[in-house]
Amino acid sequence: MTPAPHSTGTRSPDPEFAPSAIEIERRSYRRARKRQSVLISIASTLVFAAVLVLVLVNSPGWDAVRETFFDPAVAVDAFPRVITGLWLNIQVLFVAAIGVAVLGTLLAIARTLKGPVFTPLRLIAAGYTDLFRGIPVLLVLYLVGFGIPGLELTGRLPAQFWGTIALILCYSAYVSEVLRAGIDAVHPSQRLAARSLGLSHAKTLRLVVMPQAVRKVTPALMNDFVSMQKDVGLISVLGAVDAIRAAQIEVASSYNFTPYVLAGVLFVLLSLPFIRLTDWLTARAQRREQIGGAV
């Protein structure tokens, strides 16, 4: 007897199979409905945009608004200084993101430690997150950027340094709560299985729990990152010449608010890739939940 060939996990299409006339008609109908939906969406969007533009352009004060906020000549003149300031924002964002990830992870782990011996750590972590989640970011920037240097405990440090510290303090509190939710969402059986295999508590947390926790809350973490990317512009209140401060300098010299609009557009362009990535990660997580966790 000839042995049956091993299955490769994929089935080749049956050459004798052909969809019925009803199935062909259904597929054709679905494609037509999809094309119709796309065309309707495009048409409605264009009509809405056209109406909005017409309303704005025909407004009585449009000429004054255009000259004050949307002057192309002023935007061209301000672009070099504003884009140079944006580079400082990107540097601060990169360093702050690393600091937030490290401190937020430590706080989340401290909040999830079990046993009475770790009660002081849990209380400190809980107090930290409650404090910095409740204080406005701008106030923390003032306290850190002007209060700590006023103590004269350190040498003269640049404003962007203190701005980075303030952002780390604020956003590590938010990130720690997101990570704590991810850690709590990991089923206890995962820990028990890892411990039964001889892994220590630290290795169980590092190799088993944290990878699953981060995957569960990645969209929420990306949302916090996008929010922090926007708040990086607040370091200008400390005197750092970032994109916002550079725009303010240009406004003071030109008496025109177009540089502020330019800085806002650059911030939007900087955040768009992360926003789209967040949407994609959210959609992928939803698909995984719908199919029972299959990749």
pLDDT tens for residues 83-123?
A: 999 999 999 999 999 999 999 999 999 998 888 888 999 99
Q: Where along the chain do its domains lie?
A: 21-56, 74-284
pTM of the full predicted structure? Answer: 0.79
154 vs 1, which has greater pLDDT?
154
132 vs 200, which has greater pLDDT?
132
Question: Which residue, among 247, 94, 245, 239, has the nearest Cα to 164 in the 3D structure?
Answer: 94
Per-residue model confidence as pLDDT tens digits over 237-285 = 998 999 999 999 999 998 899 999 999 999 999 999 888 888 888 788 7
Cβ-Cβ contacts under 8 Å for 199 (sequence gap 6 or more)? 207, 208
Task: Note the pLDDT of residue 294.
Answer: 47
Q: Is the pLDDT of residue 289 over 80?
A: no
Q: Is the pLDDT of residue 1 over 50?
A: no
Quick one: how far is CA 248 from the chain centroid? Answer: 26
Task: Note the pLDDT of residue 64.
Answer: 87
Q: How confident is the model at residue 44 (pLDDT cuts 50, 70, 90)?
A: very high
Measured CA to CA in angstroms, residue 175 lies from 104, 107, 184, 219, 287 at distances of 5, 9, 14, 12, 24
Task: Identify the CATH class of 74-284.
Answer: mainly alpha
- Cα–Cα dist 166/173, whole Å: 11
Task: Note the pLDDT of residue 99.
Answer: 96
Helix axes 159-185 and 72-112, enclosed angle (nearest 10): 50
Question: How many other C-beta atoms lie within 10 A of the C-beta of residue 276?
Answer: 10
Task: Note the pLDDT of residue 199.
Answer: 86
**80-84, 281-285, 287-291: range with lowest mean pLDDT:** 287-291
Per-residue model confidence as pLDDT tens digits over 3-43 = 555 544 445 555 566 778 888 888 888 888 888 888 998 99
pLDDT cut 70: percent of the chain above it: 93
